[in-house]
Every structure is written in C-alpha cells, then in structure tokens.
Chains A and B, each alone.
Chain A
Amino acid sequence: MSNYPTYLLDRAKITDAHTLAVAQKHGAYEALRKVLKEGISYAEVIRVVKDSGLRGRGGAGFSTGMKWSFMPDPVTDPRPRYLAINADESEPGTCKDRVLMEQDPHGFLEGCLLSAYAIRAKVIYIYVRGEYRAPYNRVLAAIAQARAAGLIGKKILGSDFDCEVWMHKGAGAYICGEETGLMESLEGKRGHPRPKPPFPAAFGLWGQPTTVNNVETVFNAPFIVLRGAEWFKSMGTKTSTGNLLVGVSGHVNRPGVYELPFGVSCREILEDVCGGVWKQRKLKGFLPGGSSTGVLTAAFIDTPMEHDAIKQTGSMLGTAAMIVMDETACMVRAHEIIARFYEHESCGQCSQCREGTQWLHQIFHRIEHGKGRMEDIDMLVTLSRGMAPAKTICALSDAAAIPTLAAVQHFRGEFEDHVKQACCPFLPAGTKRPVFAGAH
C-alpha cells in the first residue's frame, strides 16, 4: 500500500482532539485566525477554494467555490443569509461525516466558520442526523468551548466578523438530507423537497439566500486557505482534487473510513487498504458510492475512485461509500433491500417516486421470493426509466431507479435464475428468507 499524504484525519487520530486545547495545539482555527488577522477578503477565500477545484462531498460533486459565488452580493441584496451544514448523513453505506464530527469537531467548526465568512453569513445551522447522538454531543460541546474562547459569537478574534452556530437534530428521515428538504425541516415543516428553481442561493431558508454544504466539504476549506490551492491540486486527479474519505463496508476484511486521494483505484482500496474480500471469497460486485449509485461487477474493480472515471462506468462516485459484496451475495436480495429503503424514505410528493419506489420493491420482493415472472425483469427497467433521470422534484426517485437499472444490466442472469427456479438460488436448501417487520 502506497503512502499518500493525509490531512483530513490527521487530527482526528490524536487522543482528545475533540477538546479545544488539544485541537488548537494541533492547528485548529489557524486558518480562521489567518483570515481574520490578515484581513483576507471573502472574495479571496472564494477564489482560493474555486482555484483549488474542491468539489462538494455530499454526493453531487459540484464545485464548492462556484456554489459560494452564487450567493448574491450583500451590497445589492442586504437580506440576511445563512449557511446550512448538511450533517444528515443517511445514505446506506456512508459514515464519513460521523468520524469528522466525533473525532475533530473543532476542525469541522473552523470549516463552518470559514465557509460562513466566505458567503458572508452570520448564522450557521448544522442539521445533524437524529441518530447521530455522539457526534451531536461532541459538536455541541465544541461549540460551547469555542464560544467561551471567543471563536463563535460577536467580533470573533477581535475582528468585525460575527457568527452564530446553531445545531438541529433531524427526526430520522433520509429525505431531510436533500438540501431543500433539509431547509424545510429546519423551518419546522415536513421535509418535503422544494421544486427548483428557485435555488437556495436566491430563495433558501425562510426565503433568504442560503448555501447548503456537506460536513466534509467545509472541513476541507481551512486546509485550502492555509496551504493554498496548488497544494490541494497536488493531490487527487485533474478534475477531482484533494483527498476524500472513503467509507468501505460489506464483505471486506477491514471495513472502515479511510482518507485517500481521488483517483486511487477501487482495487487498491479493496485489496491494499481493506485487506481484500473476507473469508477468502471472490468479489462479485460493489456499489462505489452508497446505495443510490449503480452496482458494478468485479470487472470494474480497477476503476479509479474519482468522479469522471466512475461516471464513465455508468455509476456515480456519490459519497465514495463503497459497499462490497462477495460471491455468496444475492444481487436480487441486495436490491430488494435497497428498494425497500427507498420505498420507506420517499417523501411521497411526486407520483413517480411515491408509487414507483413501492412498485420496484414489490417486484424485487416477488422475484426474490420465487414469484417473479420473466416480464418483471423488463418491467424493472421500464419503470426505472419512468422514474429517472430528473423527472421528479428531487433526486430520490433517481436514487431508487439507478441501482435498479444497474442491477438488471450487470446481473440479468441472476434475475432470470430466480424466475426459472422460482426461488432464490443463493439460499441454502430448506431455509427461508427472514421477512422484515417494521422500519429498515
């Protein structure tokens, strides 16, 4: 395994890095200090981040500097503006933000403050997934410490920069991780995504200009400001710069969250970083970036973990949450579970998504339980095409349709076997699949 430069998890590995004293000893708030003491303008911060090529780490991979520059000029538009941090990490397979919030909450807060400085927001809302009690408590304690040290509040570090940070706990809905659903939820409403346009930069929280950033995205900002765009671009590939957190789960020997530069091949992640497929078994397939990215066969294992290369395979990088499945895994079963998740989490606004996610789950369930018909396999494809791309208000419908299309494309034979044998061929004879009850 090659040695790559790291920066994201350096401080997180230090004991008690969640306390202000230890964090500051290891460089926390240095970038903020530099910006405020040297009077670096917000435009300069945006320019550096834009130059660095930092792309959002929440799944879509949009240029962060570009997103910040969409915020209206405060001179012509004096409305209050907000920064909302998306810490609702709910994608099955994804668990990277949790590490940052739990182990290095001050690094995260510094990222929040710098991002707020760049978009000239005076209020930050951190929307945390409801189940994330430990990260919530850690960040809450960090906010108290930082406030006591004059790092949050009025006149931060003696400068003219005022900024407040508030935390909000979600109530368990995946859809509240969609940026407009998150804003609705923050406003106290049901987490129903809003149709776009208008975009959050023009009409966000309470109708005011708002930027929504992922935890890992803002976590990168202080390092870029401190070390420069060139340093950042020295890591990763040309179009995907810097390091990212790869969360590996499933049938591997050493699952976990790893910091790696963009462009490392999936094989290297699987074999070198995670110690290979468990129990000496062979790889069957993997989801490169969480449950909403299409499954890839073992033949794609040499694909570099990077936005463009993964896109060429027909899948998506997403949040780089690699889910590995060995040769004993049943792809129909796996996708039945994924479909069930999306049925459960669809907000129910759009017809295609509300009915389609349920329909897909019903068909997967029937095929897996031996009641499938050959025409069901094509129906999975036509239904998914009716749900995506971009046919609904938000991307949840796409997230349910994309893995379905990929599963049928790459593992059609397995689906046909299920139908022909009228049962799941991966099930030992005489056993029955457990039937789920209740929530996912």
Chain B
Amino acid sequence: MTKIIINGREVEADPKEPLIHACHQNGANVPMYCYHPGLSPVGSCRICQVEVKQGNGPARVVVACRTPVVEGMVVDTEAPKAHETRRECLEFLLKNHPLDCPICDKAGECDLQDYAFAEGQGEGRSNEPRRKLDKRKSLGDVIVLDEERCILCSRCVRFTEEITKKPQLAVVDLGSRSTISTFMDRPLQGNYQGNLADVCPVGALTLKAFRFQARVWNLKKSLSTCGECSRGCAITVEVLRRKDVKRFRPRYEPKVNNWWMCDTGRFSSERHNATERLVPAARRGSQGLEIASVERALKQAAEFLSGAVACIGSPFMTIEEAQSFAKLCSQLGAKPAFVSPAPSGLKDDLLNTGDPCPNRRGLLELGFEALSPAASRARIAAAPAALLAGERVLELCERAQLAAIRGPRIATFDTHALEGDACDVAVGIPEQVEKSGHWVNIDGHVGKLTVARAAPAGVQALTRSLDELRALLTSSGVASR
C-alpha cells in the first residue's frame, strides 16, 4: 500500500489501481465517464480531472484514471483549476448531446445528467446544429443504440473485449463523425449483452425490454440475489409502484459477480410479474380446487400427512425455509430432499454455472438429498402421501407428469396451483422477490434476499406455514422424532 494525501487526509492507496480508485475509496467525488472500475482505463473522456502535486513540483491538473499512485503525492479533487477543467470538458460533451432527457430511459441515473446538474453552466453556449445520427439502431434482441446520445466513452467496446472476450463492438469512423457499431451492423451475440446498458454512462445503449417502461426514480430498489443459476449473482430488484418487477440489475460483489450478470438472470425478472397466483390457499372439494384459508388448508394437510410421507423441496428454498422444511421432515420421519433439474446448458466461463439450483450448496450442507425430477416423482408415486414445498417445486417436478400420478395425497406449497395439478391441498407462498432469506452459492458465498415487493395479502411466509403445519401435526399426535 502507498500512502498519499487526498483532500488533506492521509490515506492508503493500492498502487496497482489508478488514482481515481483511491479517490473513490476515500469518499472524494470525482466524476467519470470512460473509466469503469471493471474495465481498463483509457483516459479519453477527460472528465476526472484532479489537481496533483508531487514532491516540490508544481500542482498539475491530470486525469485521475490514468495517473498512477505515487508515494507522498498530494491530491486535491476540489481544486478550482480541476473544477474549471471539468466544466470545460462537460461543455464539450454536451455540445452534441441531444438533451432529450424527458424521453430518455437513463434519465435519473445518468452520469452525464447528474454531473451536468451538479457542475454544469446551466445554459449552453452552442447555437450550432447538433449532430444528427441514428436515434434507434437495433444491435440485436437486447440492446438498442441511440447514436446521438453516445459520448464515445468506449466502455461498451472494452466490455466486449475484456469481460466477455468476444469483441463485437467498435468505434467506427474518426473524430466528430465517430459512432459505436458492431461489425457490418450484425446483431450482438451472447448472454451478457444486458451489461452494455449498465456500463453505458448515458442513455445511448438501452435495454429493449426496459425501453419506455418506467422512470427510474419511481423504481424502488432492494438488494437481492439472482436465482437463475448456482452462481447467485448479487442484484438489485427494481419494483415499480409496489407491483411490477421492472428490472434485475447486477450489484457489485467482488466475491461473486463483480459488476456483471447474464441476460438469463437479468430477464428472469419477467417471471415475477405473473398475474395468476395462489392466494391464499386452496383445497380439493367437490368442485375441484376451491379457495380456502391457510388455516383450513393446513388443517386438512395435517390430516393426511402421516406414515411414510415423501418430502420434496425446491432448490429455490432459502436456508431459513429449508430449516423449517427439514424440521417438518424429521417430524414426519422422512428424509429431506429437493428436486434438482438437469443442467440448463447455459454454462459459460464467465458467470453462469448452468446449474439451475440457486441454493444447491446450502441444501446439501443441510443434509438434503438431490433428486432428479423423475426420481422425485417416483418417490412421490411410491408414498401414500407427499409434501411438496418451495417456489416452482411443481414446475421443476414437471407439472404434467406429476399430475398423472394417482394414489398419494399431496400437499403443495407453491406460488401457483392449477386445476390439473396433483394436489389435494395447496398453500400459496411468496416469490423470490417477496421474501427475505439466504442462499449459498456454488463457492459457499452467502447471498441475501430481501423483500422487494410485499406478497399478495393473505399469503404467508413458507417458514410460517411449515412451522404451523408442524405444530398441527404435534397436537394431532405425530411425534417429533
């Protein structure tokens, strides 16, 4: 570590990282466009100007992203000269920027907007016509490019070169005619395109799926973990008006995903906007599945859950849910198991593990047995009664084939219950974005889930339902073993 002075305070800085990193680590507000902590610094946008003094040399204004940290250097990020240079730079950046913030999806989380608001001149001096370019250039299924908004920071180019290692984007043409393009305008490929919209500091690269969907300041952001594979990327869940999950975005987590996530995970947010949910519970009556109270449904389940019950959990169960489930299994004398579907085939060498079970490691460590969908069904078919619990458990056991099983009486705890499902009792549970808890990822890292959206009224947490069921079983004489 190297000792340097930032804004009058002596701090320790990593000599392998550029000066801007040390500034940000120590709370100094240095703006940046081309610099991204996950990408190589190119020093082209010139906005991160700070004043640096080394030894007895004169104070110089330099770009912090290309300045190495040197022992004893004195850095002033708020020097008038640095601010002046940044203001000039900002004026140039805004020269051809369309300022269509009112219709831009990035507005509200745009680095250019934020910094122009904080430091800009308020009034433009240019009365030249702005650059006219393609406002909506499709770059494949995921991303749309607005060439006019682009400030040519080249973060997206470096992302494809350095992170996915499949270079697809380039700056084409020279000078003020430069634009971002794919080779011969071919569509972008790969499972990491969504990150391009995240690294873009302005609204040039936006997600087609998020285009004109919401103003970002209306989105409530909650910390969570992606459930699409056993990597468990740290994410934020962004919910509009307490209802629609609009976005999953990666959250910086150096032990897991750094700043990135795959498109499979990113767009799995769609799944959480299903309108038909099981609220609060149902039981099979003469008219098929009839809505019932949770209490009534649990009581009925407690009546038939005895003997050699097959207990199958979902790999989406959190550690907390799994613990309740395991206690219930132990009371029923069953071995806890979870359904483990076949690999998704999406495995790559960046993040996606191809294993669709986000909490596999956590469940295995709790002593759960992993069963293939077929093995799960066989275990259910062979038992007089079955307990299926956890988000998507019916889907993962392959709903249609599960429905064909005749014989055992089945209680399910899932977000959905369809008329054709093989269940006698169904209790509604919260979804991934509606619960708090923990998952353990493939490397043993504990990912946290928090409540991004309240579960539908009446639906209670799976842990509570399982614990209540266990209490009912105790009082009806099924001894805890």
- Chain A positions near chain B (C-beta within 8 angstroms): 173, 175, 190, 195, 197, 343-359, 362-363, 366, 379, 385-387, 391-393
Contact = CB atoms under 8 A, between A and B. Distances in A.
A344 B175 CA distance: 7
B92 A352 contact: yes
A408 B24 CA distance: 41
Contacts of B47: 351
Contact of A393 (B43, B85, B171): B43
Interface string B161-175: 000000000010111
B123 interface: no
A386 B89 contact: yes
Interface of B: 42-47, 63, 66, 68, 85, 88-89, 91-93, 95-96, 125-126, 128, 151-152, 154, 171, 173-178
B49 to A, nearest CB: 8
Given A345-B174, A393-B43, A197 B68 contact: yes
Contact of A347 (B66, B93, B96, B174): B174
A352 B88 contact: yes
A354 B178 contact: yes
B171 A190 contact: yes
A202 to B, nearest CB: 12
Nearest to B96: A355
A355 B95 CA distance: 7
Contact of A195 (B43, B85, B125, B171): B43
B175 A352 contact: no
Given A346-B174, A379-B125, A391-B85, A351 B93 contact: yes
B91 A386 contact: yes
A175 to B, nearest CB: 8
Given A351-B151, A359-B128, A386 B92 contact: yes
B176 A354 contact: yes
B175 A347 contact: yes
A385 B91 CA distance: 12
Q: Which of A345, A351, A392 has the most CB of B within 10 A?
A: A351
B213 to A, nearest CB: 30
B174 A352 contact: no
A356 B42 CA distance: 19
A348 B176 contact: yes
A346 B42 contact: no
Contacts of A195: 42-43, 63, 66
A351 B176 CA distance: 9
Nearest to A366: B128
Contacts of A359: 92, 95, 126, 128
Q: Which of B85, B88, B126 has the most CB of A within 10 A?
A: B88
Contacts of A379: 125
19 contacts: A195-B63, A343-B176, A345-B174, A345-B175, A346-B174, A347-B175, A348-B174, A348-B178, A349-B152, A350-B46, A358-B175, A358-B176, A362-B128, A363-B128, A379-B125, A386-B88, A386-B92, A391-B85, A392-B46
Contacts of A354: 92, 152, 175-176, 178
Given A355-B95, A359-B95, A349 B42 contact: yes
A393 B68 CA distance: 15
Contacts of A353: 175
Nearest to A352: B92
Contacts of A357: 175-176
A350 B93 CA distance: 10
Contacts of A356: 92
B175 A350 contact: no
B92 A351 contact: yes
A169 to B, nearest CB: 18
A351 B128 contact: no
Contacts of A346: 174-176
Contacts of B151: 351
Contacts of B128: 359, 362-363, 366
Contacts of B43: 195, 393
Contacts of B126: 359
Closest 5 pairs between A and B when the two form their complex, measured CB to CB: A386-B88, A346-B175, A348-B178, A358-B176, A355-B92
Contact of B175 (A343, A366, A387): A343
B175 A348 contact: yes
A312 B174 CA distance: 34
A357 B93 CA distance: 12
A175 B174 CA distance: 10
A351 to B, nearest CB: 5
B92 A173 contact: no
A83 B69 CA distance: 30
Given A348-B174, A363-B128, A391-B46, 18 more contacts: A173-B174, A195-B42, A346-B175, A346-B176, A347-B174, A348-B176, A349-B154, A351-B46, A352-B46, A352-B88, A353-B175, A354-B152, A354-B176, A355-B93, A357-B175, A358-B175, A386-B89, A391-B89
Nearest to A198: B68
A230 B89 CA distance: 48
Contacts of A344: 174-175
Contacts of A387: 92
B171 A348 contact: yes
A356 B128 CA distance: 12
Contacts of A349: 42, 44, 152, 154
Contacts of B96: 355, 358
Contacts of B95: 355, 358-359
B167 to A, nearest CB: 12
A358 B92 CA distance: 10
A195 to B, nearest CB: 4
Contacts of A355: 92-93, 95-96, 176
